[in-house]
Copies of this chain bind each other. A is one copy, B any other.
């Protein structure tokens, strides 16, 4: 069996990139880094647990590493921040030792593409399942970060991309059906919307923003609660992923996947009316990169989140994932 020291040594070889802002990386008690001066730090962490967030049966090791970093990168995108450094802690069961390097390879591939340096972490045995926790440090210009709390009545509600693709792939995997390839890619290798988040934050176009990780119905409720507002969404405007429509069997079921499915890692944001033209311009610029933006409703006074469907308006219940309440 390989030792922790050997693993860390190989990690060092894989992760070492000379960067002026990194004085010391893997292999000492801590890493020493110097982010750009004059900016605020943005810090967050996300944990993935085997058989809660993924099953090894259908999530390859590289995707486990990718998804673990992508979850934090998506949070970073939702603040409008630039990611810089990450720490990865891995607990590895005896039957998964061979996976550890592939998990890190998946994480490093995404880290490289997003200019994130893996500077530390921890590796340990696990008598239970596989566990990975990624802490991410980014930075942002003062006063530019976009929180969940800034939505105001009459703001427009936008989402990026399409919703329900990851949930469609998950459903196919759970039923042991071959998933739609595009949906499978979205589920296994989600692409955090860093450029979009940074563009919205830099131009101060979004009044509130968060990423959709637990399902639109759950996350819009969180944004509204943080902003002390309500929302009225239009079912017809919600961008349902084609794969969700295909696997769902009915338009209602497809809408349910898009509203409640989770793991979309798209951005949900609100825009004051006067900023809408600038957002629509940004949409044109981003369309060339394959990122679409949809306006799905308005912010309202009060606290209710409503959905209008076929002329009728009903309360939209949070139907997404609560990590304490359910298993996948």
Interface residues of A (CB under 8 A from B): 1-5, 7, 23-24, 27-35, 37-38, 40-47, 49-53, 75-76, 78-79, 81, 85, 87, 89-92, 97, 119-129, 131, 133, 135, 137-138, 140, 142, 145, 147-149, 209-211, 222, 226, 322-325, 327
Q: Do A30 and B81 touch (CB < 8 A)? A: yes
5 more CB-based (< 8 A) A-B contacts, given A29-B210, A30-B42, A131-B131 = A5-B322, A28-B147, A29-B147, A32-B41, A52-B127
Q: Do A4 and B35 form a contact, CB below 8 Å, given A44-B30, A128-B129?
A: no
CB atoms of B75 and A30 under 8 A apart: yes
Known: A52-B125, A133-B133, A324-B3. A29 touches B120 (CB 8 A): no
Q: Are A87 and B45 in contact (CB under 8 A)?
A: yes
Known A2-B324, A131-B91, A137-B137; judge A29-B124 contact (CB<8 A). Answer: no
B residues less than 8 Å from A323 (CB atoms): 4, 123-125
The residue in chain B whose Cβ has the minimal distance to the Cβ of A126 is: B49
In the docked arrangement, what's the CA distance between A125 and B322, Å? 9
A137:B322 contact, CB within 8 angstroms: no
Are A45 and B322 in contact, CB atoms less than 8 angstroms apart? no
Q: How far is the CA of A4 from the CA of B324 in the complex (A)?
A: 5
CB-based nearest B residue for A92: B324
Instruction: Give how many copies assemble into the complex.
Output: 2
A29–B78 CB distance below 8 A: yes
Known: A29-B78, A79-B32. Contact between A43 and B120, CB under 8 A?
A: yes
Q: Which residues of B contact A40 (CB under 8 A)?
A: 23, 32-34
Which of the residues B23, B322, B327 comes within 8 Å of A4, measured between beta carbons? B322
Are B49 and A31 in contact, with the CB atoms below 8 A? Answer: no
Contacts of A123 in B (CB 8 A): 323-324
Return the 7 tightest CB-CB contacts between A and B, nearest first.
A128-B128, A135-B135, A30-B44, A133-B133, A47-B89, A29-B75, A124-B323
**Is B3 touching A322 in the complex (CB atoms < 8 A)?**
yes
Q: Give the residue among A53, A87, A210, A324 with the most B Cβ atoms within 10 A.
A: A324
* Given A133-B89, A135-B45, A125 contacting B324 (CB threshold 8 A): yes
CB pair B126–A46 under 8 Å, yes or no, is no
A148 and B29 in contact (CB under 8 A), knowing A45-B89, A122-B46, A127-B52? yes
Across-interface contacts of A44 in B (CB, < 8 A): 29-31, 87, 120
Rounded to whole angstroms, the CA-CA distance of A51 and B125 in the bound complex is 10
CA distance A325 to B49 in the complex (A): 22
